[in-house]
Amino acid sequence: MYLRAEIPPAHPSAAILGEERMGAGVAVSPDLVLTAHYLVLGASGVEVTGLDGRARKVERISLDHESGLALLTLDRPDLQPAKLAGSEPLKPGHEVFLLTCTGEKEWRGASGHVTFVGPFEAFWEYMLDAAIMTTIVNPGLAGGPLFDRHGHVEGIVSLGLAAVGRYSLAVPIALFHAGRARMESGELPSERRAWIGFYPQANDDGVAVQGVVPGGPAEGAGLERGDLVVSVDGHPVKTLRQLYRTLWQRGPGDRVDLQVLREEAIRVIEVVAGDRYDFYK
């Protein structure tokens, strides 16, 4: 499926991700399409075009910030859904292929194999325990399905990682199975993670702040680019995984104390954690 999303200029994601986004997706039922969530984050309107060339309107967008997936409910149930993989995980060496598009009428595929299934951390307060890395160089847009050799959807292709020698990252379909009922109903998670609104990056010295989200909790608390995060609520952190695991023990509205090194001085910055679902609604 090809999708095109329009995002209002005032939405917090527009400055970084743009006001018009194009991507791919896969039908998981006659009226539901699964894709990468950042493609439709903040969208005021989304249109999906199938292999038949017919455009469909999206009536509802259900986001899952934790997995990085989005479920689109269409205005009519006339799609042929793909078969989804079960509980048996992919392993390094398994053959896989992806199907995507470069535009509304051009579709492309590529094949390769799995190189790694395991932890992945990113600088936008995002982490997976079982990300799927492959040798496939995505020939088109993100958001399309990753298939196993039986033609079952194993994941949703999210990122290109050529810089680190692993060419595509896919979000495992198991995360969709786990959250499907909630996403189909359009409900928000009952328990949500603390969100700071900053861009941490791990290096040899620890975890450094590369920037903050305008209008987010970190900016309001005075966190600055270049700050080196030493601890969270008194717990030392040296990696993104340590940082996120400690931070996510808190929830929206909780006070989080960040001990940072700034200009050779230790400071404690108190941040009232935000709710990403509310901020990016």
- In this structure, are residues 266 and 273 in contact, taking their beta carbons and an 8 Å threshold? no
The predicted-structure confidence for 20-74, as pLDDT tens digits, reads as follows 999 999 999 999 999 999 999 999 999 999 888 899 999 999 999 999 999 999 9
- For 220, which DSSP code? H
- For 81, which DSSP code? P
- Does 198-279 carry CATH code 3.40.50.800? no
Find all residues with CB under 8 Å of 265, minimum gap 6, and list them.
Answer: none
Find all residues with CB under 8 Å of 18, minimum gap 6, and list them.
Answer: 7
- Residue pLDDT tens, the chain, 281 long: 999 999 999 999 999 999 999 999 999 999 999 999 999 999 999 999 988 889 999 999 999 999 999 999 999 899 999 999 987 889 999 999 999 999 888 999 999 999 999 999 999 999 999 999 999 999 999 999 999 999 999 999 998 765 555 589 999 999 999 999 999 999 989 889 999 999 999 998 889 999 999 999 999 999 999 999 999 999 999 999 999 999 999 999 999 999 999 999 999 999 999 999 999 99
- In this structure, are residues 31 and 71 in contact, taking their beta carbons and an 8 Å threshold? no
Specify the domain boundaries for CATH 2.40.10.120 within the chain: 1-190
Question: Could you tell me how many residues make up the chain?
Answer: 281
Give the type of residue at 161. L
d(CA 143, CA 82): 14
- In this structure, are residues 21 and 5 in contact, taking their beta carbons and an 8 Å threshold? yes
d(CA 243, CA 246): 5
- In this structure, are residues 244 and 121 in contact, taking their beta carbons and an 8 Å threshold? yes
d(CA 218, CA 125): 12
d(CA 99, CA 151): 11
> Nearest 5°: phi and psi at 193?
-80, 150
Predicted confidence at residue 88, as pLDDT, reads 82
The CATH number of the structural domain formed by 1-190 is: 2.40.10.120
Specify the domain boundaries for CATH 2.30.42.10 within the chain: 198-279
